[in-house]
Structure 1
Amino acid sequence: MANNKNKKGLGRGIDAIFSNFEDQEPQMDAVTEIKLDEIRPNPYQPRRTFDEDALNDLAKSIKETGVFQPIIVRESVNGYEIIAGERRYRASKLAGKDTIPAIIRSFDDESMMEVAVLENLQREDLSPIEEAQAYDTLIKKLNITQAEVSKRLGKSRPYIANYLRLLSLPEAVKKLVSNGDLSMAQARSLLSLKRKSQIVPMAKKTVSEGLTVRQLEKLIAQANANGRTPAKTTRKVVKSPYVRASENQLGDRFGTKVNIAQTKKGKGKIEIDFESEADLNRVLALLDVNLD
C-alpha cells in the first residue's frame, strides 16, 4: 500500500474505510495463511494490466524472503476475494508459493470498489483509461453522481469529468493511451476535433511523428477550420482579457470547450461544447440540473 504522502487528498482514504471495520470486528485482524487456489482477484479491480517485469522482481523477493505485508481478503461463496494486495497475490503464484498471509475482513461490494480504486490511485500507476473506467464503475455500480465520486476520492469535479471524457474516444485511441503512446493531454486535444472520423488518423499521426501537444492542437485547429462552412463577413468583436480568462476557467470547470460570444452592446451568450448525449448529461450534472 502507498505511503502517507500519496494518501493526502484522497477523501476518506483506505485507512478510514478499514478503521470502520476495525472498530466493529477487531477479532478479524488475525493473520491467516490461505491457499492461493482458494483466492480470487477483486472483481472491481480497475487495473487491467500488470507490469510483468515488476511482478517478476517481486516474485524473486517473495521467493527469497516471503510476503512481509499480508493481503486483505473477504470471504465469498467459493473461497476468498482480494480486497487489497493483488500484486502480492500474483507474484506469490509466480514464486511457486502455495499459501499467502492474509487478513480476513467483512467488506460489502461498495467498500470493495472504493478500496480497489483508492489503492491503485495511491500507487499512481493506473493508465488514464483505467482511472477513467474506475470512476465510471463507481458512478454506475454505486449509482452515485460525479460530485459524490469527487467528494469520496478527494478529487475536483472537473478532474473527474476530464477523465470520464476519455471514455468517449474510439477504442483504437484508448488503446494508444493505455499503452502510453498518447498522453492524456494529447487525448483530450483529440476530443476537440469536430469531425470525429479524424480522431483515429490524427492520433496515429501524433504517435508516428512524435507530435507535441502544441503541434497537435495546431493541426486540430487547422482541421476544424477546413471543415467549417464559410460564414458571412462580420465585424469581429475583440474579446477582453476578462472574457478570455472566463472562457478558460469555464473550460476547466466543465472539461470541454467554452465560448463566450459578445456583441458591441455588451450582451452575449455562453456556448458549452459536448460530444454526445452522455457528455451533455455530464455537463448538466456539473450545473446541478436534474431533468428527472
Structure 2
Amino acid sequence: MPDKQPASKSPAPKRDVLGKGLGSLLGLDKETPTPASAESYAIGTSILELEVGRIHPNPKQPRKLFREADLLSLAQSLKQDGVIQPLVVSKDEDGYMIIAGERRWRASKIAGFEKVPVIVKEVTPEDMLRLAIIENVQRANLNVIEEAEAYAMLIKDYGLTQDDCARKVGKDRATISNLLRILSLPQEVQDDLMNEKLSMGHGRAILALEERGLILQARDIVLAKKLSVRQTEQLVKRMKRQGAEGGEAAEVKSGHADLDYLADTLRSHLRTKVRLQGSGSRGKIEISFFSPAELERLLQLIGGGVF
C-alpha cells in the first residue's frame, strides 16, 4: 500500500493593498448600494444625491494637477452618460469632503450638474489621506512629485516610519525611499517632474550627481537634447568621472578672497565647475563642459548672443 503523501500547505496569501479596489478597502463591495435621499441620510453604503456646492476637495489630496482638456472631455462624457460611479465623501463641519472622485466632481461642475451621487463614509484623517493615495496610484493619476509628497505627508503628519508607510499603501520600502529622495532635487527639477518633462528615471539618474550646480547642468542637457533615461545615466557617469578627475582642484580655494568670490559667483551663474587661478595681476579661468550642447549653452551665457 503506497505511503500517503503529506498534504501540501498553501502559502499564506501576501497582503496586497494596491491589488484591492478602493471599494474593497472602504468596505463598499459587500453589497450593492441602494439609492437614498439626502433627507434619509445614513452613514453606510447607500447612494445619496448631494448638491455639488456642499462638497469640497480634501486639502491634502495628493493630486495637484487637473488638466483642463481632460476635465472638459470628462464633462462631455458625463453630460451624455451621467455620473456612473459615485463619489466617496466624508461629512465634516464644512459639508462633505471628497475621499475619492475629485476629478468627477470638478467635471460635474463644468457639466453644470446641480447634484452628484455620493457614498458617505466615516474615516479618520490618516485613512482619508491613505485612501486618496491608493486611489490615485491605482488609477496612475499621480506624477512622481505628487506621489512622493503624498508619502512624505503621510510619514510627517502621522509619525510613520517608511516601513509603516509602505505597509499601509501596499508598496515596498525601497519604492517609498526612492520617491522621498526625489524631493531632495532642486525645485527646478521637481517642477520638470511635476509637469512630466522629465521622468522618474531621469530624476533618479541626475540625483546621483548630488551637487546642485551639476544636477541643474545635467537637467539642462537632458531637456535640450531630449535624452532617454539610459543616455542620462551615461551623461551622469561622464560628469562624475570628469568631476573625480578635476573636481577637487575646481573647489580648491586660491587664497585670494576676491578670486574665490568670483569663482563661486561664476559657478552659481554658469551652473558648472569653474576654476580660477592666479595672483592679483594675472591668472586663468577654467570652465568645464560635458557635451556640445552644454558648450553651446555656456557660450550663449558668456557671449550674450555673440556666438
Q: Normalised by the size of structure 2, how large is the TM-score?
A: 0.67
- What is the Cα deviation at residue 16 of structure 1? 4.3
Which structure's CA Rg is the greater one? 2
Pick the aligned partner of 2:225 from 194, 203, 209.
209
**CA 1:79–1:219 in 2, change beyond 3 Å: closer, same or farther?**
same
CA-atom RMSD in angstroms: 2.6
Q: Quote the residue 2:122 is aligned against.
A: 106
Q: Which residue of 2 is the match for residue 169 of structure 1? A: 185
Count of residues in correspondence between the two structures: 224
Tell me which amino acid in the other structure corresponds to 2:208: S
TM-score, normalised relative to structure 1? 0.70
Which 5+ residue runs of structure 1 have no aligned equivalent? 1-6, 232-292
- Counterpart secondary structure, 2:27: helix
Structure 2: state its 5+ residue gaps: 1-14, 32-41, 248-307
Q: Residues 46-61 of structure 1: matches in 2 within 5 Å?
A: 46-61=62-77
Question: Which residue matches 2:108?
Answer: 92
**Which position in structure 2 is the counterpart of 1:75?**
91
Say whether 1:128 aligns with 2:144. yes
Match of 2:253 in 1: none
Distance 1:178 1:27 in 2: 37
Tell me how far apart the structure 2 counterparts of residues 204 and 230 of structure 1 sit (CA, whole Å).
21
Deviates most, 222-231 or 64-73:
222-231
User: CA distance change for structure 1 residues 86 and 194 in 2, over 3 Å: closer, same or farther?
Assistant: closer
Match of 1:45 in 2: 61
The whole-number CA distance in structure 2 between the counterparts of 1:80 and 1:194 is 44
Query: 1:108 offset after TM fit, Å?
Result: 1.4
Pair 1:64-2:100 in alignment: no
Identity %: 39
* Offset at residue 42 of structure 1 (A): 1.6
Q: Residues 167-213 of structure 1, C-alpha deviation per residue, up to 9 Å, x if partnerless?
A: 00111101111212111111111111143211112102101111122
Task: Look up the match of 1:18.
Answer: 26
Aligned to 1:150: 166
Q: Distance in 2 between matches of 1:87 and 1:194?
A: 37
- Kindly state the Cα deviation for residue 226 of structure 1 after the two structures are TM-superposed: 2.5
SS class of match (1:28): coil
Partners of 2:245 and 2:224 in 1: CA distance: 30
Cα pair distance change 1:38/1:9, threshold 3 Å? closer
What is aligned with 2:7?
none
d(CA) in 2 for partners of 1:74, 1:17? 15
Q: Which structure ranks higher in relative contact order (CA pairs < 8 Å, sequence separation ≥ 6)?
A: 1
